[in-house]
């Protein structure tokens, strides 16, 4: 004889994440080697982050990256290079971050959507004066700072 689940238990089970969510994002540099960051309006409220988002079914990682960057910033990216994969597991979510670096030539055409409340182009010396979300900070420290890719 089986045990019947309450409606609340069924709802909780159906809304629980069953698989890791693949997410793309990119460090974006302009012609002056400044880094684009946006101030989050969501989870990382008041912290600066890189743009990116979930890969939709049928979309390649690069297609998703270009789409997410365009939707969130209006930037067109090029010279896209794969940097690596990072994983974040919380009590209720599991994300796989597929990280890239890219350049843009339309840095003066930024239009942010509702996922951000502000944006900026930052030099290496300016990064110490802002609050950067931990995943973004780790990415910058690992891939930009050791190679002196940012302008001073």
Looking at residue 11, its pLDDT comes to 43
Q: How many residues does the chain have?
A: 152
Query: Do 67 and 49 meet the contact criterion of CB atoms below 8 Å apart?
Result: no
For 26-40, 83-97, 110-124, which range has the lowest pLDDT when averaged over its residues?
Answer: 83-97
Q: Is the pLDDT of residue 12 over 50?
A: no
Q: Is the pLDDT of residue 8 over 90?
A: no
Higher-confidence position of 71 and 88: 71
Domains of the chain: 18-143 (3.90.79.10)
Residue 58 class from Cβ within 10 Å (0-12 exposed, 13-18 middle, 19+ buried)?
Answer: exposed
Give the pTM.
0.86
For 34-48, 54-68, 106-120, which range has the lowest pLDDT when averaged over its residues?
Answer: 34-48
Higher-confidence position of 16 and 86: 86
Query: Do 53 and 64 meet the contact criterion of CB atoms below 8 Å apart?
Result: yes
Q: Is the pLDDT of residue 82 over 50?
A: yes
Higher-confidence position of 10 and 46: 46
Between the alpha carbon of residue 44 and those of residues 28, 77, 132, 141, 147, the distances in Å are 19, 24, 9, 18, 27
Residue pLDDT, tens place only, 38-54? 998 887 888 999 999 99
Looking at residue 17, its pLDDT comes to 82
Our CA dihedral for 51, 57, 62, 68, rounded to 10 degrees, sits at -20
Residue 78 class from Cβ within 10 Å (0-12 exposed, 13-18 middle, 19+ buried)?
Answer: exposed
Query: Do 140 and 132 meet the contact criterion of CB atoms below 8 Å apart?
Result: yes
């Amino acid at each position: 004889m089986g045990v019947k689940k309450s409606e609340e238990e069924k709802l909780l089970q159906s809304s629980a994440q069953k698989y890791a969510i693949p997410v793309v994002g990119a460090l974006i540099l302009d012609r002056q080697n400044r880094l684009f960051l946006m101030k989050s309006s969501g989870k990382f409220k008041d912290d600066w982050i890189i743009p990116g988002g979930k890969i939709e079914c049928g979309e390649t990682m690069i297609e998703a990256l270009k789409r997410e960057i365009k939707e969130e910033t209006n930037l067109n990216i090029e010279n896209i290079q794969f940097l690596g994969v990072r994983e974040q597991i919380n009590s209720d979510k599991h994300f796989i971050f597929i990280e890239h670096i890219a350049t843009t030539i339309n840095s003066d055409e930024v239009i942010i959507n509702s996922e951000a409340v502000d944006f900026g182009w930052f030099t290496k010396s300016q990064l110490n004066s802002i609050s950067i979300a931990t995943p973004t900070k780790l990415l910058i420290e690992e891939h930009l700072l050791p190679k002196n890719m940012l302008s001073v």
